[in-house]
Amino acid sequence: MKIALAFSGGGYRAASFSLGTLSMLNELSLGDVRLLDTVEILSTVSGGTITGTRYALSLERAESFGDFYHSLYGFLSNAKLVEMALAHLADDSRWQNGRVRSLVSAFADVYDSELFDGALFGSLMEDVNPKRIKHVSFNATEFANGLQFRFQWSEKMVAPRPGEFARGVIGNNYFNLPEQVASHIRMADIMAASSCFPGGFEPINFPSDFVLPKGAVEHLSKKVAYPVGLMDGGIVDNQGIHPIMLATERILQNEIVAGRASEEDNPIDLVIVSDVASPYMEDFRASSEDRKGWWKGLTPRLIVNLNYGLLLLAGIGLICSICAGTSYGLFFSTVLMTLSVVLFFIFHLIEKLVAGLGISEQFLEPLDTLKKFKLYVFQSLVKNRLNSFMILTTDVFLKHVRRLNYNTLYRDKRFINRRIMTAVYELTSDQQTLDRKVARGSLPSYLMPTELVRKNSDKAAAMGTTLWFTPKELREGMLDSLIACGQYNACWNLLEYIEKLKKNKENTSAEHKLFSELEDVLRVYWENFQRDPLYLVKKYRSV
């Protein structure tokens, strides 16, 4: 059996859910081989890279799965990571080596000490321990061409075509890194680049913001204009599907050279995409004008005129107070005048800022009409624009990219009956599609989740996209809920997959027949999850 794993972006929600997927695969065996040990391709994005990088490193270190699990669990449950990153950001001594002071670089330093113990990408290139994952790709996005930037390492191609990299391109075709440079990159910097989501962080620049030894950068091509800004891999492929397709081609090419396959074959038996992004989005609803509050009925022009009146009144009061020698009047008039002058300069600054935008005069003249609008109109205009912009960037754009990437996998006939998507929202309370499938008999009734499973899924799916858990979320067991959700969703999807194989054996092999024999074991796990969604989390807690 050859499995490919993809871990989507989604902050700590993705990292925890992916950990649940891994731990479920660790529970299952084909003969005397763990299902997790049959994973040959690993592609991760953003929050999924947190789990993916640490797991890949654990294999190279020959750690037990339990040691890996507890190491990552401890990291994810550390509520002081943000505090530590801000302390790094404020420490001047950490920014004297040429790196630009930035929040993402501060987080990278924390990742390096708290999760990776200074490990370098080169540790994944060594052949000290048998490689169980032959193709890894931790994905970011570069800001020069808007393309995926892959920190990848692959099994060597036996006969690469002219111009092909024997182990896949590290970077992309515009920015590719020689192995001697890539080997010195901190795993922490790779994780920071992959999870550097827009709005939360600024881009991390390669190589200037990466911690590299002197001389390593000299190996970079002189034809490429470095540095290049890197950000979250989810910008172009939030599910990490494209690197799996590329790795599949490399494996197939080796199989063809060895005489074990043809161009039409697929060397991968099963692709599992662990995804915490939802395909659903809410329609945009324009907010109505909120007229509560007398001040919302004011206009900018009226406020400016009132301020002139306030300034005049303060001036008169100041003169009268000086003449009368009253300290209270003098104090009141001074405060009033100070406030008026401050408001005057604020209005003047706003006008300067607008003028400095380089807007044509023919557009600025009509804008003068805006001064007559009441404040509740401005509130509605700004609110609707912000809401629509957020929906555009976080829903419309990402959902469209998501569909395009899934189409790549689902339209490829070689992957018929060889793909699973396990999603955080699949078993939530509002999934009526699941109810209908059971009702019409396309799914067996035992796959209907209990109320306990659905309640935990609702909780897990409600977690926001952040790179930390708040103390409140940790107290409420959000980390355990997400890991459990990854576990029982993987179990449920594997059972559903076996049900599909019973009805349609197209494009399957002897490996899939062997895989179907896991049904009885999986059903036992599912029954346990039905009674207690956290039962496997509790088991790992005691290991």
Active-site amino acid positions: 46, 232
- Tokens 């401005």 locate to 378
| Nearest by Cα to 270 from 489, 485, 39 | 39
**Residue 485 backbone phi and psi in degrees, to 5:** -60, -40
Q: Hey, is 291 helix, strand or coil?
A: coil
Task: Give the span between the Cα atoms of 62 and 460, in whole angstroms.
Answer: 31
Measured between alpha carbons, how far is residue 101 from residues 96, 107, 109, 233, 522 in Å?
9, 11, 12, 22, 49
Tokens of 174: 């515009």
Task: Give the span between the Cα atoms of 102 and 246, in whole angstroms.
Answer: 33
Concatenated DSSP letters of 20-37: HHHHHHHH-EETTEEGGG
Cross-strand bridge partners of residue 419: 271
- The widest CA-to-CA distance across the chain, in whole angstroms, is 106
Q: Are 467 and 46 in contact (CB under 8 A)?
A: no
Measured between alpha carbons, how far is residue 412 from residues 251, 254, 265, 344 in Å?
17, 20, 12, 64
| Nearest by Cα to 150 from 47, 236, 26, 270 | 236
11: left (phi over 0), alpha (psi -120 to 50) or beta: left
- Tokens 């190589």 locate to 207
**Residue 96 backbone phi and psi in degrees, to 5:** -110, 15
